[in-house]
Structure 1
Amino acid sequence: MTESAIVEGRMAPLRIDNLDTDQIMPKQFLWGIDKSGLAKGVLYDLRFDPQGKPRADFVLNRPEHADTSVLVVGSNFGCGSSREHAVWGLQQFGIQAVIAPSFAEIFYSNAINNRLLLVALPEDQVTALMQAADDSRTSSVRIDVGTMTVTCGDLSAPFSLSPRHRRMFLEGLDVIGLTLTYRDRIDAFSRAHWSQQPWVRDVASRTTGRMRSA
């Protein structure tokens, strides 16, 4: 079991339903061609006023939530556009897991594929965790993918992941790493496919070569 199989740290409550990816990672921070430098953009318009000054009343700007690693949020988190930058930015900001009653489908896939742990719990349990997160004395939470349990004080809540996604966290794999565990089967399929249909092997490179020599 890897480090990504257990997330343990402080929670911060974000009581906003339908928080979309445009708010999680605004468009002005999508200028790069790689994943770097996205932490600044996370929830930018909620964290800062129009003059770029931190909003003192926003939960993640409060001193007691400076080391937050788990967000507890409203329903349909991550709706809107499919920008994967929203996931990368949350991770760079230090967020290791998000707990919500529900998640937007594309965001869920993007997050899990990048090993940002998303946990869906019933609304009453999410409300209880938000209340616990309000108090620094009770805001510590433990999410264990091995036992599929969220623990906070007296609350012990089961959650579910698909077998494929659970394996990714237990073995420390992203979606590419998981694919590569099937490398032998992929290679065997390729060899069989090419032996039966050799005319399709490297067709792009061979076509390009003919065009260049013409």
Structure 2
Amino acid sequence: MEKFTVYSGTTVPLMNDNIDTDQIIPKNFLKQVDKAGFGKHLFDEWRHLEDGSSNPEFILNAPERQQATILISGENFGSGSSREHAAWALQDYGFKVIIAGSYSDIFYMNALKNGLLPIRLNQEIRTILSQLTAQQSITIDLPKQEIHTQEASYPFQIDATWKEKLVNGLDDISITMQYEDEIQAYEKNHPAYK
């Protein structure tokens, strides 16, 4: 997993509440076995018209928002099924951070395990951030747990264990590999069973 320390990017507001995993990545696109390639289907039913062309009314299709890497959203983001594909699709599209009022517990954990930073903020701050133009970037400082705009800074909370994992780029496998010498010593001294 990539380290996440300080990140700057532009935002795109999608202020709907209750965006579920089927809206994030519809079930008919879950046939892949690799994490890559899901981004092209992110919010598919909203991004595309019935004929497959881009929906000009959907904000992610606005030319000035297509490079945004920070999604600002409403309450209960990622509800619905437990599919990890939702976090994969958001990341594959290019998002690094999701800022919402609240999250489904399963989506929140899937995001963190994949290095996608989910931040919880209240409605007032999300409204301020949602009004930024496509040219205005914000900075997420994870070690300090702060979001910086040109005008203000906003604190956010995150579990200390997950913060440490993200800042150091540690997933479950890399944490296990920190004990590689001890594991090998144990296996060397443990009798093999036949």
Give TM-score scaled by structure 1 length.
Answer: 0.82
Report the AA paired with residue 64 of structure 1: E
Partner of 2:169: 172
- The count of corresponding residues between Structure 1 and Structure 2 is 192
Look at both structures and tell me which one has the larger radius of gyration over its CA atoms: 1
Contact 2:5–2:142 at 8 Å: present in 1 too?
Answer: yes
C-alpha distance in 2 between matches for 1:180 and 1:153: 41
Partner of 2:145: 148
C-alpha distance in 2 between matches for 1:125 and 1:6: 20
Gaps of 5+ in 1: 207-214
Structure with the largest fraction of helix: 1
C-alpha distance in 2 between matches for 1:97 and 1:178: 23
Paired residue secondary structure (1:168):
helix
C-alpha distance in 1 between matches for 2:119 and 2:79: 16
C-alpha distance in 2 between matches for 1:177 and 1:85: 21
| Aligned CA-pair RMSD | 2.0
Higher relative contact order (CA 8 A, sep 6+): 2
Write out per-residue CA displacement over residues 32-73 of structure 1, whole angstroms, 9 at most, x where no aligned residue: 122121111111011001111111011110011010100000
Give TM-score scaled by structure 2 length.
Answer: 0.90
- 1:1-214 matched pairs, under 5 angstroms: 4-132=4-132, 135-137=133-135, 139-183=136-180, 206=194
Contact 1:73–1:100 at 8 Å: present in 2 too?
Answer: yes
Cα distance, 1:185 vs structure 2: 6.1
Write out per-residue CA displacement over residues 98-139 of structure 1, whole angstroms, 9 at most, x where no aligned residue: 00111110000000011001111111111111112xx234x3
Structure 1's consecutive aligned runs of 4 or more residues displaced over 4 angstroms after TM superposition are 182-188
Paired residue secondary structure (2:92):
helix
Cα distance, 1:163 vs structure 2: 1.6
